[in-house]
Each structure stands twice: as structure tokens, then as C-alpha cells.
């Protein structure tokens, strides 16, 4: 058993590391945040509770010799963390950020050097995978510098990912950890970590839920929004938890809201004919973030002043003044991101220019409540009219949801839907300690879950949050000009649990040795009853295509005549939470199907 259990929140905008010691002595486990040493200014290293997920590619001669020295590396190739984020404001073309959003992207290969997108000619770009590796490496190096006898690679490490991450993105996260010198890491879902964080800070949590309850976790991070439903059940007198549904991958988060406030505030300067440059706008953005927190909270003042200091030596002469009003911000954020909508609301699919950045699939509709309505409809007890999941409890996570006005609006909307279904109001999962630290909750919860895995505490059962299929061409006569109709073979049933496997002996595939074989790969969050080996005859709206998966059988020299190998498929979920698909030959030889992260070509 390792001495420490470590939870890592590898976030879109910020990362954090929490740890707990094991074995746990008497009482509740003590989970602590590890401040990560990082450059905060040239030549200044400081440990901070958050590591900004920002990477800066320093140019030739850009920093004074020795200014980037870290305690464990005299000449780091990249700048990671606070200095990277701050210097990136001054020279955005060398800044890599939001790398995580690229890991789950069907339109670009995250192992290719893509970032920074707008780097000028001559700058060596890096891949989103490499950036993720660098954030993990920074945390490992900082940990090892202060724990020389218990290096991180020998500890039990859990890394959180959005519940909506596809299998390929989960595998990439694990690959990034391996590249950063970690041992085997466990991948866990962020909303579950948020739930464990609540358990961790609420010693009497069992008093608040009972069998039959349904807990809705809404986790709004900097760049993503995640919905998860956890059912409370009972077995042999013990409370059990089961994760029953997970929402779609939504690239929409607190950063979008801060940006909306900043654009709103910018208008008053442009009305006066003042154009803000990139650095001034960043200052405005930061102040709007703080103003938003104050104005959306309880006892909010009517307005907050905004001051943008002059950039030159004439500090006061060049200063711009403005303000943001409480009512404006409230209607902007509540009506823009959390509008009151009916339970049959559908998110718009039309892309909006304001939320777009080349390459990333930002959510087309910023209305979180519409996405939530769609999620609850899909997660309903059965398909058909009137099906709607009815949560009894709501757990909120993410810095945005510290604002009481947003929290209040979410309850108002959700309880409105429940009332129209004749269901009682959902209640908030309360916590006794008011110091609910939502910035670090995911990392803390991951560490706590690590303890639960080793036997201490309750564990959420869940398995894979989707069912998966491989495409099979129908044996219908081909019609010129029309694609061959596809059917889908269920290879992974919904909810397949960690450490279990499914064999599919009924269906044989012939693989040609020495040639890559590609399977089209599909998934569904709503088809929960397809059993392994069953065939979906018609691919409807409820099944979406992922990047293809492929396998390559290397030619064998000792048996050159073998050309075609009949195989069957097998799927399993590893103990570390990864989905794997295998081709198995009759003689027991096995080949793993790789998730292809290449750009998906339009069918």
C-alpha cells in the first residue's frame, strides 16, 4: 500500500492536487491541498493552491538568463502555471490554454502539434496531449521536490476527467500521465469527485439521503458543464450509490460567463470612443470576474466600479473608469445562461459566432437550463412521452455556483419542472462546514474516493456511462450513389462495471494480416437496454458516431501463409476505469483495438 492517496483535478483552466495519508487512523480522513510550486514572476517561484492550466513557449532571448529556473530544473523548455498565464496576456501567440478541451475533440488529432492555434510562423507548436503531460509533470516534479522519499510515481494517484469524456479522451489522459512519469493512475469522473467532496466535508451525510432518492450533480467548471445522476439504493441494510446517467460533453463554463460580463462592460468604454487593447481587456475580464461574484451573491451592492489602470508610466492619467450594475449583470447571466424554460426545451444547434473559437466544438446554445432539461428527459425512467428523471436532491459544484443568484435560479427552474410533473421539490444537499471550497472540491473528492477504493468509505457504482457499438454494413444490395446502410452491433452494454468483461462469440470478423482494419464506432447515452451482441438495425438520432477504432495484425515470419484470421470481439473495463476493445483469435491470440484520434472524415 502506498503511503499517500493523491487526487488530481486536471482542469481546463486550473489544476489542483489533494492528498490523504493512509491507512486512516481513527475518525474521518484528513484530505489536504498540496500547493504546487510554480513560476509566478520571472525569477520567482512560489507554491500556490491552484496551478493554472496554462503553458507558455518562451521565445529566444525573451527572459533573462536563469529567470525560468525551477528548484528541480535549471532550464525548463516551457513555462507552466501562473507566469505562463500572465505572460500569455502580453503575448497571446505563445500561450497554450484549454488543452483539455482538445482531448475530446472529433475534429482534430490531439496528439498532433496544434497549439497555440495562432502561433506565428517559426514557433514550434505542441500537442494538447503534450500540454496535459506538462501540467502533470509540473505537479509531479513539485511533489517530488518536497517528498523526496515518497515520489508521486509510487503513490496511488487518481486523475479526474469530465463524466462526458469519451473512451479515447480518457485513454489520452492516462497516456499523458504515463508520459509525465506517473505509475498506473485511476481515471475518475469529476461529478463523482464533487459528490465525494461533499461526503468528505459532511460527516453526517447519510442523514440527508435515503434509498429511492435521486441526486442530480451539476458541475460547472471553467470550461465544461457536466450533469450526473446518482441513485441511492440499499443492499443488506447499507446505503449504496449508483451513477445512473451522464450528460453530453458541453464546452460551456464559468469562463464563458466571465467573458459575457466583460464584453458587456466593454461596451460602455467603446461608447465613449475608447478602444481597449488586449492587455486592458484582460484587466477588465479579471475585474468583471470579481464583480460578478460580488453582484451575484447575497446582499449584493447595486453596482461595482471597474477601474482599468493606465499602461504607461502615467498610471493615473491613463486610467479608465466604469461600472457594472447588479441588475444588468443578473439579467445578462441569468437570462443568457440560466433562462427559465419549460421541461421540453431543446438546446439550439445553430452555432453562435460569439462563443466560437476555431477548432473547438463549443456548445452552440449557452442556456445551461436547456441542456439540463434535455439531459433529464433522456435520463428518464423509460422512453416515451412524459419520461423525465425526477431528482430529489441537487448538489452544485464549481466556482460559478457559489453565486447565490445562480444557485437560486437553478432550483427555481428545476423545481418548476418537477412541480409540473406533480413531483416534490428537489432539496439542496447541505454541508455543515460552511467552508465549502468549490475550487478544490474535485481534487479533494478524488483523494477521498481513493480511500474509498481501498476499503474506507462508500463507493459509487457506475460502470461506463454509455453503450458502445461497432458499425456493420448491411448485407443489402448496394445502390449506386447511396452509402451502404449501417447496422450497429452492441459491443459494450450501458453500465459495464470496472473489472468486468463481455465476450461476443456470436459474430466473427475476418482480419487480414498486415493490413490495418478499421471499425466505425458509435455510442449512445440513452439506449440503456441493448444487450451485448444485439444488433441495432437502424441508426437513429439516439446513436452518435465517434472516431473510428482500428487494429493492426503484424505479419508473422514463422507462418507467412496465414493471411486471414477470424476473430471475435471482446470488451472490458479495466480496474483503472478505461474501456478496452480486443480482437480474439480462436487460438487465444489477442490484439487491442486502438481508439483512433485522427480527424474523422465526413462520411
Partner 1 sequence: MEDLSGYADDQIGAVVRNVHSDCKASLNRHVTLAPVIDGVEGTFQKLDNSKTPDPNRIKLVGNVPASGKVAGGILRHRGWRALSISLPALGKADTSILTPAELEVE
279 lies in the site for partner 1, by CB under 8 A: yes
Nearest to 251 by CA among 395, 127, 106, 114: 106
320 lies in the site for partner 1, by CB under 8 A: no
Indicate which single residue of 178, 206, 210, 321 sits in contact with partner 1 (rule: CB under 8 A). 321
**Between 145 and 320, whose beta carbon lies closer to partner 1?**
320
Per CB under 8 A, contacts with partner 1 among 172-211 are: none
| Three-state SS at 408 | helix
Contact 443, 449 (CB under 8 A): no
CB of 57 to partner 1, least distance (A): 9
Question: In whole angstroms, what is the distance from residue 328 CA to residue 324 CA?
Answer: 7
- # of chain residues touching partner 1 (CB under 8 A): 26
Task: Give the interface segment with partner 1, choosing from 59-67, 244-252, 331-339, 496-504 (CB under 8 A).
Answer: 59-67
Indicate which single residue of 23, 46, 71, 123 sits in contact with partner 1 (rule: CB under 8 A). 123
**Sign (positive or negative) of CA dihedral 278, 279, 282, 287:** negative
Bridging pattern class, strands 544-552 and 501-512: unpaired
CA 142 to chain centre: 24
Question: In whole angstroms, what is the distance from residue 287 CA to residue 400 CA?
Answer: 15
Indicate which single residue of 1, 25, 60, 75 sits in contact with partner 1 (rule: CB under 8 A). 60
Q: Which residues pair with 581 in a beta bridge?
A: 571, 593
563 lies in the site for partner 1, by CB under 8 A: no
**Between 323 and 507, whose beta carbon lies closer to partner 1?**
323
**Between 322 and 465, whose beta carbon lies closer to partner 1?**
322
**Between 315 and 346, whose beta carbon lies closer to partner 1?**
315
18 lies in the site for partner 1, by CB under 8 A: no
CB of 40 to partner 1, least distance (A): 16
Contact 322, 306 (CB under 8 A): yes
CB of 379 to partner 1, least distance (A): 43
**Sign (positive or negative) of CA dihedral 563, 568, 569, 574:** negative
59 lies in the site for partner 1, by CB under 8 A: yes
Bridging pattern class, strands 564-573 and 501-512: antiparallel
Task: Give the interface segment with partner 1, choosing from 44-52, 118-126, 374-382, 467-475 (CB under 8 A).
Answer: 118-126
**What distances in angstroms separate CA 496 from CA 82, 315, 500, one per listed residue?**
40, 61, 7
63 lies in the site for partner 1, by CB under 8 A: yes
475 lies in the site for partner 1, by CB under 8 A: no
330 lies in the site for partner 1, by CB under 8 A: no
Indicate which single residue of 27, 122, 554, 588 sits in contact with partner 1 (rule: CB under 8 A). 122
Query: Which cell is 310 given?
Result: 493606465
**Between 93 and 342, whose beta carbon lies closer to partner 1?**
93
Length of the chain: 603
Per CB under 8 A, contacts with partner 1 among 419-448 are: none
Contact 24, 150 (CB under 8 A): no
**Between 93 and 500, whose beta carbon lies closer to partner 1?**
93
Burial status of residue 229 (CB atoms within 10 A of its CB: 0-12, 13-18, 19 or more): buried
286 lies in the site for partner 1, by CB under 8 A: no
Amino acid at each position: 500500500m502506498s503511503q499517500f492517496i493523491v487526487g488530481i483535478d486536471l482542469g481546463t483552466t486550473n489544476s489542483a492536487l489533494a492528498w490523504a495519508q493512509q491507512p486512516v487512523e481513527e475518525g474521518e480522513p484528513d484530505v489536504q491541498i498540496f500547493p504546487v510550486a510554480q513560476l509566478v514572476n520571472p525569477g520567482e517561484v512560489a507554491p500556490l493552491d491552484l496551478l493554472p492550466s496554462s503553458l507558455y513557449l518562451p521565445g529566444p532571448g525573451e527572459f533573462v538568463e536563469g529567470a525560468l529556473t525551477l528548484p528541480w530544473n535549471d532550464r525548463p523548455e516551457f513555462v507552466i502555471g501562473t507566469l505562463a498565464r500572465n505572460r500569455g496576456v502580453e503575448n497571446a501567440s505563445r500561450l497554450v490554454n484549454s488543452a483539455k478541451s482538445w482531448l475530446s475533440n472529433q475534429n482534430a488529432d490531439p496528439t498532433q502539434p496544434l497549439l497555440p492555434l495562432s502561433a506565428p510562423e517559426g514557433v514550434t507548436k505542441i500537442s494538447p496531449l503534450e500540454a496535459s503531460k506538462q501540467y502533470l509533470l509540473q505537479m509531479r516534479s513539485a511533489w517530488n521536490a518536497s517528498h523526496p522519499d515518497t515520489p508521486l510515481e509510487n503513490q496511488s494517484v487518481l486523475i479526474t476527467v469530465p463524466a462526458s469524456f469519451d473512451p479515447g479522451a480518457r485513454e489520452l489522459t492516462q497516456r499523458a500521465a504515463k508520459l509525465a512519469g506517473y505509475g498506473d493512475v485511476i481515471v475518475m469522473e469529476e461529478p463523482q469527485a464533487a459528490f465525494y467532496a461533499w461526503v468528505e466535508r459532511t460527516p453526517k451525510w447519510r442523514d440527508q439521503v435515503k434509498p429511492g432518492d435521486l441526486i442530480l450533480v451539476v458541475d460547472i467548471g471553467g470550461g465544461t458543464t457536466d450533469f450526473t445522476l446518482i441513485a441511492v439504493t440499499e443492499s443488506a441494510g447499507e446505503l449504496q450509490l449508483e451513477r445512473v446517467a451522464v450528460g453530453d460533453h458541453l464546452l460551456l463554463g464559468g469562463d464563458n460567463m466571465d467573458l459575457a460580463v466583460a464584453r458587456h462592460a466593454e461596451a460602455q468604454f467603446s461608447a465613449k470612443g475608447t478602444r481597449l487593447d488586449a492587455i486592458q481587456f484582460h484587466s477588465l475580464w479579471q475585474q468583471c470576474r470579481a464583480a460578478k461574484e460580488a453582484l451575484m451573491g447575497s446582499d449584493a451592492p447595486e453596482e461595482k466600479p471597474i477601474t482599468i489602470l493606465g499602461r504607461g508610466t502615467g498610471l493615473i492619467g491613463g486610467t479608465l473608469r466604469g461600472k457594472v450594475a447588479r441588475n444588468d449583470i443578473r439579467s445578462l447571466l441569468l437570462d443568457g445562461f440560466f433562462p427559465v424554460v419549460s421541461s421540453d426545451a431543446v438546446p439550439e444547434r445553430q452555432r453562435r459566432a460569439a462563443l466560437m473559437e476555431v477548432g473547438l466544438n463549443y456548445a452552440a446554445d449557452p442556456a445551461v437550463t436547456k441542456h439540463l432539461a434535455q439531459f433529464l428527459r433522456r435520463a428518464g425512467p423509460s422512453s416515451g412521452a412524459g419520461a423525465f428523471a425526477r431528482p430529489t436532491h441537487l448538489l452544485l459544484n464549481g466556482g460559478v455556483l457559489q453565486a447565490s443568484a445562480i444557485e437560486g435560479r437553478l432550483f427555481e427552474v428545476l423545481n418548476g419542472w418537477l412541480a409540473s410533473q406533480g413531483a416534490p421539490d428537489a432539496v439542496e444537499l447541505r454541508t455543515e462546514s460552511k467552508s465549502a471550497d468549490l475550487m478544490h472540491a474535485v481534487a479533494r473528492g478524488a483523494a477521498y474516493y481513493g480511500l474509498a477504493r481501498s476499503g474506507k468509505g462508500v463507493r459509487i457504482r457506475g460502470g461506463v456511462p454509455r453503450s458502445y457499438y461497432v458499425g456493420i454494413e448491411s448485407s443489402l444490395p448496394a445502390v449506386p450513389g447511396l452509402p451502404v446502410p449501417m447496422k450497429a452491433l452492441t459491443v459494450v452494454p450501458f453500465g459495464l462495471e470496472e473489472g468486468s468483461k463481455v465476450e461476443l462469440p456470436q459474430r466473427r470478423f475476418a482480419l487480414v494480416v498486415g493490413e490495418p482494419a478499421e471499425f466505425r464506432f458509435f455510442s449512445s447515452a440513452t439506449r440503456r437496454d441493448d444487450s451485448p451482441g444485439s444488433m441495432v438495425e437502424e441508426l437513429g438520432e439516439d446513436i452518435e458516431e465517434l472516431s473510428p477504432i482500428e487494429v493492426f495484425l503484424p505479419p508473422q515470419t514463422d507462418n507467412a501463409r496465414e493471411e486471414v484470421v477470424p476473430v471475435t470481439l471482446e470488451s472490458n473495463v479495466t480496474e483503472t476505469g478505461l474501456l478496452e476493445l480486443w480482437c480474439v483469435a480462436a487460438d487465444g491470440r489477442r490484439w487491442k483495438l486502438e481508439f483512433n484520434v485522427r480527424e474523422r472524415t465526413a462520411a
